[in-house]
Every structure is written in C-alpha cells, then in structure tokens.
C-alpha cells in the first residue's frame, strides 16, 4: 500500500527560513530559498537583507511579515510600513489581518490602499 501526499509536487518545495538573528541569516543563506524577516522596520529589514546578500551569492528571496488587525492609526502605520518595505526592495510582504471576524474587509481595504500612492485611501471601517 502506497501512502503519502498526492499529487506530488513536480519540483521540490521552496524552503523559507525565518528570523533576524545572525544564525537565522546563516541558515537562510546556506539552506533557504527564501528568508523571512520578522519584527523589523524598513531600515532593519534592509540591513538584514544586505547581510544575507553578503553571506550567499545564491538567489534567496528576501521577504517579511507585518500585521494589521484593525484601527485607524494602526492602519496608517501598517500601510506606511508596507510601502517602506516595498521601497527597500522586499521580494514579498506577508500581512496578518487579525482574527477571522472582519478579516476579509480588512484585507480588501489594505490591498486597495497599498495599490495606490500614499494618503489617497478613503476612510472606511476597520
């Protein structure tokens, strides 16, 4: 009897290594297809990404994760951080939108806001 995951991927699954420590960057440089910084502002992300580039010549994607779970002031901060990370060259930015209740609306609002230049968003419920 054959067991396992089906259908099998045509190629190996990419490995993402998370963390911002020197050891995490070394692991990402040696083993990862992507590195995910956590808890970094845009300048911190850029410093850690540059350090990753020093550690390897392999094309390791540099990505990060942020959060916005509601609230107007938090919305502005999260959207500004997203834009700053994009300007620093993040390959991807994952966003946590909070608990399931209201998740979809927050995700749609955030996506619409960051697709436009800063400060053109229309206010809406969080």
Q: What percent of the chain has pLDDT over 70?
A: 89
Instruction: Answer with the residue of higher pLDDT: 30 or 7.
Output: 30
Every domain of the chain and the residues it spans:
16-114
Q: Are 90 and 63 in contact (CB under 8 A)?
A: yes
pLDDT confidence tier of residue 4, bands split at 50, 70 and 90 = confident
For the stretch 86-122, pLDDT in tens is 999 999 999 999 998 999 999 999 999 998 655 544 4
Question: Quick one: average pLDDT of 38-50?
Answer: 96
CB atoms within 10 A of CB 82: 20
Residue 94's DSSP bridge partners are: 65
Q: Packing angle between helix 72-87 and helix 103-114, nearest 10 degrees?
A: 50
Mean pLDDT of the chain: 90
- Please give the biggest Cα pair distance in the chain: 59
**CB pairs under 8 A, 24+ apart, for 74-77?**
75/109, 75/110, 75/113, 75/126
pLDDT confidence tier of residue 43, bands split at 50, 70 and 90 = very high
Question: Quick one: average pLDDT of 27-51?
Answer: 96
Please give the pLDDT value at position 122.
47
Backbone angles phi, psi at 50, to 5 degrees: -60, -40
CB atoms within 10 A of CB 57: 8
Please give the pLDDT value at position 126.
46
């Amino acid at each position: 009897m054959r067991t396992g995951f089906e259908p099998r991927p045509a190629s190996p699954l990419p490995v993402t290594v998370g963390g911002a420590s020197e050891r995490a960057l070394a692991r990402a440089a040696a083993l990862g297809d992507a590195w995910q910084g956590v808890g970094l502002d845009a300048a911190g992300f850029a410093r850690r990404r540059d350090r990753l580039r020093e550690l390897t010549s392999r094309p390791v994607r540099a990505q990060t994760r942020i959060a916005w779970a509601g609230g107007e002031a938090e919305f502005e901060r999260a959207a500004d951080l997203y834009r700053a990370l994009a300007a620093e060259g993040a390959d991807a930015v994952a966003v946590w939108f909070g608990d399931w209740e209201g998740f979809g609306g927050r995700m749609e609002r955030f996506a619409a806001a960051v697709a436009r230049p800063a400060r053109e968003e229309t206010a809406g419920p969080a």
